[in-house]
Structure 1
Amino acid sequence: MPPSERIPALSTPQAEAPDADPVASAALAADPERALALLRGGELQIHGQLTEASNGVFYCTVSDGAEQAVAVYKPVRGERPLWDFPDGTLAGREVAAYLVAAATGWGLVPPTVLRDGPLGEGMCQIWVESDPDAQLLALQDAQEPAEGWRAIGRADVGGGRTALLVHAEDPRLRRLAVLDAVINNADRKGGHLLPAVDGRLYGIDHGVTFAVPGKLRTLLWGWAGEPLDQEAVAALTGLADRLKGPLAEELAPLLTAAEIDALRERVAELLASGLHPVPSGDWPAVPWPPI
């Protein structure tokens, strides 16, 4: 059932949506302790719905009286049923992705919590405004990627022409490629990459993650089959240790026991192989549409 049929019209008029300050949103996203306290304890006010999203996604402010920030809120009741993920679990998977990302030390997902809101329980995340001058993806009229870029594949550009789809050879993207392999991300599109004005990179929209079967589908295949760098090995080693203790306890209300076991196995397999994964052939390797 579409979100518009599952979510009633808001009962009171909403104030004009505030613009997110790119500097302020980047600073708050980079301060998890402060951001999480605000997300958990602040009053959540909806200002509008993001109509292009396939699920119910709302642009909000969260305020505790002393501080206010822009946030995104995805209530469980606005989730579209999926054939390969249990109903009502996407918000929890988004929070689980934040917890795992935080455990790597890379800070690749904006601070995210599961909380009650105007439309019931849902995921609430600090809104990060993307730097419009950052370029992470491109189309090139070439057979091989230009220097500083990694090839993903060829894309139809119309008129019977194709171009080489590439992503930047960027250490931030390489970290995110590792994280996506860990959380088994089935939908890493270009629009889910947020380069902030402070130079940090964030990934968003992690509702279709942590499935037990392999479902990795991403634009970040540029390092496929190559050795993991020392930074990735260190992060994965630390993550493996954390999954033996408190992190697993934090994930238990959000994922099934089988999904947590599969998470541990993916980390162990990455460490054992020492390589970035390659497309399996059992699942479309690149999401559609890719951007």
Structure 2
Amino acid sequence: MGDPAPEVEHSAAESGADEAMELVGRLTTASNATFLATIGETEFVYKPIAGERPLWDFPDGRLAHREVASYLVSEALGWGVVPETWLGEGPHGPGMVQRWIISDESVEPVTIVPAGEIPDGFLHVFDGYDALDREVSLAHEDTPALRRMAVFDMITNNADRKGGHVLPLASGHRYGCDHGLTFHEEPKLRTILWGWQGLAFSDEELAGIRTILEGLDGGLGAQLAAYLSGSDLEALGLRCEALLAEGVFPRPEYDRHVIPWPPF
């Protein structure tokens, strides 16, 4: 089963509801306006909707809504892939608010190594060249926590799973962040987590996919309808059905981009 996500004693959204959000700084490496903020003594990431930059394949924006929908799916799965996330109000208007995760910088779940030198416990993804024109390989760890994240990405149709979007904890748990490019009605899976392609899903993974599919006709579907379009929800159900029917980690569709760029 792997290490579970750390338990949260109470909802940060509820505890901070009556406290003003204060901005601490801006994350300048993000492509959209992203701030580090505090509510009380707790740190959060704040991405105002006003700072979203529409993309050619996500022209309608709604990135904050997709981030919240991703959290709802993560919670329904019970895997704790996404930190606590909600649509809140900040100094620059409504936006995504997500609990800040301090990752363990000594751990590298995704890494680049000299070509062919894949570490023990890691899976090969692809080969390429670095900035000095040296042959290198990209690899990721082979752990239940990262497998669950890969399945989560397939369910949500994540178009942006970069190496830097995997946040490792010393406990072995792995959080994922930056889920604004999800739930597109067309196949958009772009990820560096291709190491399990063709392998059968575990019973736990199949049960998780089934939970989401069945939940679309109940409470989960009602929750997601506040953040996703009808066509997005329909495509979500069809993806779950296809994953269950195939029963294996899909292989890349090489007629489109399947690796986010840059991969980190």
TM-score norm. by structure 2 comes to: 0.93
Moved more, 243-252 or 34-43: 34-43
Q: Which moved more, 1:122-131 or 1:38-47?
A: 38-47
Instruction: Provide the rounded CA distance (Å) in 1 between the counterparts of 2:119 and 2:23.
Output: 44
Q: Choose which of 114, 131, 155 in structure 2 pairs with 1:141.
A: 114
Deviation at residue 142 of structure 1 after TM alignment: 4.3
Q: What's the CA shift for 1:33?
A: 4.1
1:112 aligned residue: 85
- Is the alpha carbon distance of 1:41 and 1:172 closer, same or farther for their aligned partners in structure 2, counting shifts above 3 Å? farther
- Report 1:233-244 matches (<5 A): 233-244=206-217
Q: Is the 8 A contact 2:55 2:61 kept in 1?
A: no
8 Å contact kept, 2:115–2:127 = no
C-alpha separation in 1, matches of 2:54 and 2:216 = 29
| Pairing partner for 1:247 from 220, 230, 251 | 220
What letter corresponds to residue 31 of structure 2 in structure 1? S
Structure 1 residue 60 corresponds to structure 2 residue 37: yes
Structure 1: give runs of 5+ residues left out of the alignment. Answer: 1-27
1:88 Cα deviation after fit:
3.8
1:223 maps to which of 193, 196, 199: 196
> In structure 1, what is the Cα distance between the partners aligned to 2:237 and 2:193?
22
Residue correspondence of structure 1 range 251-270 to structure 2 within 5 A: 251-270=224-243
Partner residue, 2:62:
89
1:278 counterpart letter in structure 2: R
Query: How is 1:200-211 mapped onto 2 (pairs within 5 angstroms)?
Result: 200-211=173-184
- Point out the structure with max Rg over C-alpha: 1
2:153 corresponds to: 180
- Please give the residue correspondences for 1:11-30 in structure 2 after superposition, counting only pairs within 5 Å: 30=7
Deviations along 1:222-261, whole A, 9 cap, x unmatched? 0011111111011112222211101111111211000001
Question: Equivalent residue for 1:171?
Answer: 144
SS in 1 for 2:136: strand
Residues 93-121 of structure 1: CA deviation (Å, up to 9, x unaligned): 00000000111110100000001211111
**Partner amino acid for 2:167?**
L
* Correspondent of 1:34 among 5, 8, 11: 11
C-alpha contact 2:87 2:95 (8 A) present in aligned 1: yes
Which blocks of at least 5 consecutive residues in structure 2 are unaligned? none
Note the aligned Cα RMSD (angstroms): 1.9
Counterpart CA distance in 1 for 2:139 and 2:31 is 26
CA displacement 1:187-231 (0-9 Å, x = unmatched)? 100110111244321000001110000010000000011111111
Contact preservation (8 Å) 1:97, 1:206 = yes
TM-score by length of 1: 0.85
Q: Deviations over 1:65-109 (max 9, x none)?
A: xxx200000000000121111334000000000000111110100
Identity, in percent, stands at: 43
Change (3 A) 1:32 1:269: farther
Structure 1 residue 39, shift from structure 2 partner: 5.0
Corresponding residue to 1:76 among 35, 44, 49: 49
Secondary structure of the corresponding residue to residue 116 of structure 1: strand
Q: Which residue of 1 aligns with 2:254?
A: 281
Q: How many residues align?
A: 261
Cα distance in 2 for residues equivalent to 1:198 and 1:100? 23
